[in-house]
Amino acid sequence: MARVMAAVAGGDAERFDGRGVNASYRVGPLSVKVHHPAMSSGLTGDRIRLVDSALRGAPWYPPVLDLGWHGLALVVVRPFAEGRPADDGRRHVGALAGVLAGLSERADGLDVAEELIADYASPWLADTDRELAQTLTVLGEHTALAEALRARLPGLAAAASRLSGVDASVHHGDLHGRNLVFAAGRCTVIDWDETGFSRRPADAAKAMWLSCRRARGDFELDHLAVQRFLRAVPGVDAVDLARLGALWFVPSRQHVTLLGQRDASLALWYLGWVSRFWSRLGRNLDMLSELAG
């Protein structure tokens, strides 16, 4: 830990510019994730450790090599995954389905404390009105987005409730085609910042939106890709799955605030990005209803 953080502080690490609030670096053969202090907690560390114990040995999982604190930031060190992600996530629906199945299987027999079980839908199920009120404070001039959220959120929360079960599965938190890296015939899943446990198919729900769209930066679902995805991930109502996944695209006050502190233009970009998702949601749900029918 001391060596990799010295490399980061000394400018000897390769930094990967992303649009999130955590920072990613490469130090030789190591991948270093430095969590934002506001996203660092003992609970986050506990979730990462327990997921690591469950997934070690999975062919697509990069194990934790070191985990600890650097000042107020949680730092996680893993092997660096060589290779490149696919530009089009639709090409890797099969590989994605295999990872989803593996995450579910690896949770069998785990004793998971209640405080470690949560996903992006959890706050909305706990108190939809409170979360919406907080979100509205950071939307600024995005009035169409605010109207869409007011109209849609009760139905989305109801779908998340219908998809909630008793048993918890390992939850990656950001699983989609761009986080599958391929090299020499091997697939590695990267970006485990938000990992933990969920009682809903939260990974599958988010992955459908991000891996079955026609192009990056847009949110028009490709119906052929959706059909392949639903065949590979069977047993879930397609429309409810999409509604559950839509909750990930609700901007939270904390996330928008942290992005704005990093770069004001980044927060504006993010709100525009999620606004495009919500402007297309109705048409996408209509298409999914037709597929399901």
SS (H, E, C) 26-91: EECCEEEEECCHHHCCHHHHHHHHHHHHHHCCCCCCCCCCEEEEECCEEEEEEECCCCEECCCHHH
SS3 207: helix
| Helix and strand numbers, DSSP H then E, in the chain | 11, 10
Whose tokens are 């290779």? That residue is 83
Q: Which residues of 41-74 are buried (b: 16+ CB within 10 A; e: fewer)?
A: eeebbebbebbbebbeebebbbebbebeebeebb
- Domains of the chain, start order: 2-79 (3.30.200.20), 84-292 (3.90.1200.10)
Q: Are 121 and 247 in contact, with CB atoms under 8 Å apart?
A: yes
Q: What confidence score (pLDDT) does residue 108 get?
A: 80
Q: What confidence score (pLDDT) does residue 93 get?
A: 87
* pLDDT per 10-residue tile (average), the chain, 293 residues: 92 90 96 96 96 95 97 97 81 89 86 93 95 96 96 96 93 91 90 95 94 85 91 87 97 95 94 96 95 79
User: What letter would DSSP give residue 173?
Assistant: S
Of 181, 166, 288, 173, nearest in space to 225 by CA: 288
Q: What confidence score (pLDDT) does residue 178 get?
A: 85
User: What letter would DSSP give residue 200?
Assistant: S
